[in-house]
Amino acid sequence: MIVAEGLRFGYDGRSVLHDVGFEAAPGRVLGLLGPNGSGKTTALRLLYGSLRPAAGRVSVAGRPLTTLRPREIARRIAVVVQETEADTILTVREMVTLGRLPRLRTFQRTGPEDRRAVDAALARVGATHLAPRAFADLSGGERQRVLVARALAQEADFLLLDEPTNHLDIRYQHEVLGLVREVATSAVVVLHDLNLAARYCDDLVLLDRGRVAAAGTPESVLDPAVLERVYGIGVTRTHADGHPQLLFHPLTAAALAVTVN
């Protein structure tokens, strides 16, 4: 379990997170939601030690994150950030093999066990046929599959993803998140699309201006009254296939004034 307690963080004197706390439970997918600038990505970066909180702490399996060495963090937490590696000259297999680095000693070369882990990761995401291709030549959806495979090759306990559906068309958005649900032991996912969160997440944390506005199941968090206050847009909720389904519409000036105040 990853536990965040009383997290505070700011950039250049500007506070971004205020006493944020939540838990990422084993075997579940937790979604971090909120408008632009609400602190979602900052919170995620605090979870894997890319940033250090000004106050509060993050614990992994009962141990404070600050007591873990970088290699140990990498063995416990795999991270998929927004695409930044499109220009690499690596093949898909080489890209996924990078996920094995936290398992290797200094100057140790990959061996049969590592190759088996890479093969298994590619197979789990349905990308075995892509192995010899150049990563840079793949489509956006294919790249995301490969990045998830690289994270799986780490054999980490937790998978953290920052907007994995960004720039993907509708089919690949569902494909990637369905994949995360299928293959991840435990995951924390930053998402903008509330309907995707409703369908693929077990638990949600809704951030608003750096504070937790709501936390719980999709059914409880995706409450129209809460969402209208946080996002400043009208929300109608229905259900589809057993999941909340949200429809959005502009608020009247009077209703918008109420949400702002």
Angle at 183 between CA 181 and CA 187, to 5 degrees: 55
Say yes or no to pLDDT of 83 above 80: no
Q: Within this chain, do residues 118 and 35 fall inside the same structural domain, yes or no?
A: yes
- Band (84; pLDDT cuts 50, 70, 90): low
Q: Within this chain, do residues 147 and 255 fall inside the same structural domain, yes or no?
A: no
Q: Within this chain, do residues 132 and 86 fall inside the same structural domain, yes or no?
A: yes
pLDDT in tens, 92-140: 999 999 999 888 877 788 889 999 999 999 998 889 999 999 999 998 8
Q: Within this chain, do residues 6 and 59 fall inside the same structural domain, yes or no?
A: yes
Range 20-44 average pLDDT: 95
- Band (12; pLDDT cuts 50, 70, 90): confident
Q: Within this chain, do residues 132 and 235 fall inside the same structural domain, yes or no?
A: no
Q: Within this chain, do residues 227 and 194 fall inside the same structural domain, yes or no?
A: no
Range 152-173 average pLDDT: 88
Q: Within this chain, do residues 88 and 171 fall inside the same structural domain, yes or no?
A: yes
The C-alpha R_g of the chain, in whole angstroms, comes to 19
Q: Within this chain, do residues 123 and 252 fall inside the same structural domain, yes or no?
A: no
d(CA 34, CA 164): 15
Q: Within this chain, do residues 126 and 170 fall inside the same structural domain, yes or no?
A: yes
Q: Within this chain, do residues 184 and 243 fall inside the same structural domain, yes or no?
A: no
Q: Within this chain, do residues 15 and 122 fall inside the same structural domain, yes or no?
A: yes
CB 249 within 8 A of CB 236: yes
pTM for the full predicted model: 0.87
CATH value at residue 94: 3.40.50.300
- The Cα diameter of the chain in Å comes to 66
pLDDT in tens, 178-230: 988 887 678 999 999 999 999 999 999 999 999 999 999 999 999 999 999 99
User: How many domains are contained in the chain?
Assistant: 2
For residue 106, the enclosing domain spans 2-217
Q: Within this chain, do residues 181 and 237 fall inside the same structural domain, yes or no?
A: no
Query: Cα–chain-centroid distance for residue 2?
Result: 13
Half-sphere exposure (Cβ direction) of 261: Cα atoms closer than 13 Å: 6
